Amino acid sequence: MNNKIGWMRLKHGQWDLYLAATEKGLCYVGTQNEDFEDLEKWAKKRLPGFELIEDEKALQFYAKELIEFLDGQRRDFTAATALYGTPFQQSVWQALLQIPFGETVSYSTIAERIGNPKAVRAVGTAIGANPMLIIVPCHRVIGKNGSLTGFRGGLEMKSQLLELES
């Protein structure tokens, strides 16, 4: 898959998500309300010069792990990932990966964990740019007062994911 992004549409129960991977690993998990054009737009911005190729076979392992998670049979992901973003985004996404299954933290907690406690808004922006929903668990970040706040997939999807983990 050199300079190629393999993609597939995963339909499982109520879930309908686009997945994409480069030769380095899974790089994109979309939301319930996204379509193929959203994946194309992301790919052009993050991986210019790469070609999107539908390749369900190459993404089966990633799909299997996601299905197991959505069915309540998996807590952690073992598949290779490839996160494409700025160094700041990368630091935020790595902090998200440290949030244990079934737990939540605030945006300010993430800002503190990356050593930049005043960057709460920037942290929120980086979380909003997370290209791998579910895998990089941005759904586990909530408002300081415990309320559900912003989520690229919508608050209903965020609520469903948190319920899955409870």
pLDDT for 23 equals 93
pLDDT for 150 equals 82
Please check whether residues 92 and 39 belong to one and the same domain: no
Does residue 138 have an active-site annotation? yes
pLDDT for 153 equals 83
Q: Which of 15, 37, 70 is the last residue of a domain?
A: 70
Domain that holds residue 41: 4-70
Judge residue 30's burial from the number of C-beta atoms within 10 Å of its C-beta, 0-12 exposed, 13-18 middle, 19 or more buried.
buried
User: Could you tell me if residue 31 is inside a domain?
Assistant: yes
pLDDT at 2 over 80: no
Confidence of residue 125 (pLDDT cuts 50, 70, 90): very high
Please check whether residues 62 and 93 belong to one and the same domain: no
User: What DSSP letter does each residue of 36-94 carry, written as one string?
Assistant: HHHHHHHHHHHSTT-EEEE-TGGGHHHHHHHHHHHTTS-SS--S-B---S-HHHHHHHH
Residues 6+ apart with CB under 8 A from 11: none
Please check whether residues 64 and 98 belong to one and the same domain: no
User: Could you tell me if residue 149 is inside a domain?
Assistant: yes
Of the chain, the percentage scoring pLDDT greater than 90 comes to 84
User: Could you tell me if residue 21 is inside a domain?
Assistant: yes
User: Could you tell me if residue 142 is inside a domain?
Assistant: yes
Please check whether residues 115 and 144 belong to one and the same domain: yes
User: Could you tell me if residue 75 is inside a domain?
Assistant: no
Please check whether residues 92 and 152 belong to one and the same domain: yes
Please check whether residues 36 and 101 belong to one and the same domain: no
Domain count, the chain: 2
User: Could you tell me if residue 80 is inside a domain?
Assistant: no
Q: What is the DSSP letter of 134?
A: T
CATH of the domain at 119: 1.10.10.10
Please check whether residues 54 and 110 belong to one and the same domain: no
> Considering 47, 138, 141, 161, which one is annotated as catalytic?
138
Please check whether residues 96 and 66 belong to one and the same domain: no
CATH of the domain at 23: 3.30.160.70
Please check whether residues 157 and 132 belong to one and the same domain: yes
pLDDT at 45 over 60: yes
